[in-house]
Amino acid sequence: MRSKYLIALTCIILFLTGCSNNVLNAIKKVLDNEDNEGKIKSKYTNEQINNTTHQLPIKANKSIEFNTFSINKRKYYGEVGYVELILKLPQLVGTYEGIAKINDYFIAKENVFYKELPTVDQEYFEEIGKSISGKESGYFRSATYQLEAVIGDIISVSAELDGGAGGVGWAGIEGESFDLNTGEQISMDELFKIKEDDYKSLIYNYVSEEIMNNINKFMQNGGGSGYHFDNAYSEEGYEAIHSYDFKNFYLTPNSLVVFYPKYVLTCGAAGPQEFEIPLEEISDVLAIDLNNTNVVSKNNSDSIIPLEFNKVDRTKNIVESLDEHRIVKVLKDKTINNIKIFTFIKENDEDNIYGGIEIKGDLFDLGIVSMILPDYNLGQISINNTSIFNNKDVYSIRAILGANCSQINYYLIEDDIPRKYISIDGNVDEIDLDNDGIIEIVSCSGTLPYTNIYEYNDDSISVADINATLQAQAVRLNINSKNQAFEAFYGKGKKIKLFKYTQYGLLEIRE
């Protein structure tokens, strides 16, 4: 028992001094002696946490893993009902430099598809007494992405598109390929090492030949041509085939797939048309290395664990005026934007340090910010101006309330009056975890770290419990790791898992 307390004490010292690797080892030692009592309960099942993904060993020093995340949103039109957005978008994990840029591209796709939602004439529907219920009523937009191939440093995906406004569906296809090293989208021009006119002629010839073969089969069976024309080489056929948009392609392990939107070549009921050009037959004119091809089965399983955010009560935020005669000694002060923030000893209190603020000659009492530290060790107290939640007028005082108990208080100044914005216990990092331009707050407290994420949305602050979500005994943010990963500890003999924060939840990193 005595050794267990010594280990815990070691963790406290290391955690407060910020020794990351030592903290990691100390946590492991504590966990090795932990029993199973007091396990954290969570509404998330093991099945949700252990979703499978495909890890692709592309090169010895580089890896790529394909995952998807789902978006389901509704846009309401009063009592008439709603239209629905249903998306399954790619989310990549790995060691390629371009992965973050590719992920950002697909995160932004949500807004692209949202703008394509069908519009509703609310007044007309109210007049005729008709209601709509998203996809069930045919009013929706959807996109389901899947992995097609990873060839060398190129990843290629396709998407099945659908939607409608209560009538004929909007069936379609989308294909996109990216350079994993740069994150840039690959154009058709970059696939070939021959001139543009030459590869266009090559593609037109393949498409024309396949269409002509299809027409002959249809007609031999006593039917029509199946296309808007009876001959691929006629003027009408030529114009339709040559209307091809060279952005419409994707790669499979064996083929270059080009596609035409529905209505271009055939009737709408036939849907979009795809044509596969075998890579082996055009390998001599391709600029990509076909010997480094990874055959991967398509995977659409979600691997992002959603986070449940709960609003933080911020009603107690009144800051009172401060009588300067109650200030016994100012310990530390800092002037930011002509605003003086300071810590001080207050009369009749020998145990605590208080915070104060001076705005245009007026003094305000920010309350207790720290316990009395040995010899007024002011190195453990910091005063800063921060831009959390995109608000540039937030000020903070970070201090110690007890052994292994730190706290940071944030203050917002409006109309020259300060008010407490929020108080957060634990060791705090201010960081843009999902690269959306908005700073999140990550707090970590306790010998076995307990971690929370704070977010700002719609003028309110919400918090998510990371330990409970991951069903982990301890979780900490390794801010210095490449992916700024959360490290989750599950107990003696169990593997440490790494998770990356996204705006849709926590994505496991498999290394």
**H/E stretch holding 156:** strand 154-165
User: Tokens in use for 35?
Assistant: 């029993």
| Cα 501 to Cα 453: distance, rounded to the nearest angstrom | 10
Residue type, 10: T
Instruction: Tally Cβ neighbours within 10 Å of residue 57.
Output: 9
Sheet with 309-311: list strands edge to edge: 309-311, 460-465, 450-457, 440-445, 427-431
Sign of CA dihedral 340, 341, 347, 350: negative
Q: Where are the domains of the chain?
A: 1-51+305-310+428-511, 53-204+238-302, 316-425
Q: Model-level pTM?
A: 0.52
What are the CB-based long-range contacts (under 8 Å, 24+) for 386-392? 386/410, 386/430, 386/439, 387/439, 388/430, 388/439, 388/441, 388/456, 389/438, 389/439, 389/455, 389/456, 389/461, 390/437, 390/438, 390/439, 390/456, 391/456
Render 428-448 in DSSP notation, one character per residue: EEEE-TTSSS--EEEEEETTT
Sign of CA dihedral 221, 227, 233, 234: positive
Exposure string of 320-347, with b = 16+ CB inside 10 Å and e = fewer, is eebeeebbeeebbeeeeeebebbbbbbe
User: Tokens in use for 434?
Assistant: 């999902």
| Cα 159 to Cα 143: distance, rounded to the nearest angstrom | 6
| Cα 403 to Cα 370: distance, rounded to the nearest angstrom | 11
Q: Tell me which fold the domain 53-204+238-302 belongs to.
A: Heat Shock Protein 90 (3.30.565)
Phi, psi of 8 (to 5 degrees): -60, -40
Sheet with 505-509: list strands edge to edge: 304-305, 505-509, 497-502, 486-489, 474-477
User: Tokens in use for 253?
Assistant: 């392990």
Residue 83, CA atoms < 13 Å, CB-side half-sphere: 20
Burial class (CB in 10 A: 0-12, 13-18, 19+), 38: exposed
Of the candidates 25, 69, 101, 86, which has an alpha carbon nearest to the alpha carbon of residue 508? 69
| Cα 429 to Cα 440: distance, rounded to the nearest angstrom | 8
Residue type, 179: D
Question: 393: helix, coil or strand?
Answer: coil
C-alpha angle with apex 498: 495 to 502, nearest 5 degrees? 155
Tens digit of pLDDT at every position of the chain (511 positions) = 444 444 444 444 444 444 445 555 555 555 555 444 433 333 333 333 233 333 444 444 577 888 888 888 999 998 899 999 999 999 998 889 999 999 999 999 999 999 999 999 999 999 999 999 999 999 999 999 999 999 989 999 999 999 999 877 788 999 999 999 999 999 999 999 999 999 999 999 999 999 999 999 888 888 889 999 999 999 999 999 999 999 999 999 899 999 999 999 998 888 899 999 999 999 999 998 777 654 343 343 456 788 888 888 766 577 889 999 999 999 889 999 899 999 999 999 988 889 999 999 999 999 888 887 665 556 678 888 887 766 667 898 888 766 567 888 888 888 888 888 888 888 888 888 877 777 889 999 888 889 999 988 767 788 999 999 999 999 999 988 777 889 999 987 788 898 888 777 888 876 5
pLDDT for 446 equals: 81
Question: 122: helix, coil or strand?
Answer: helix
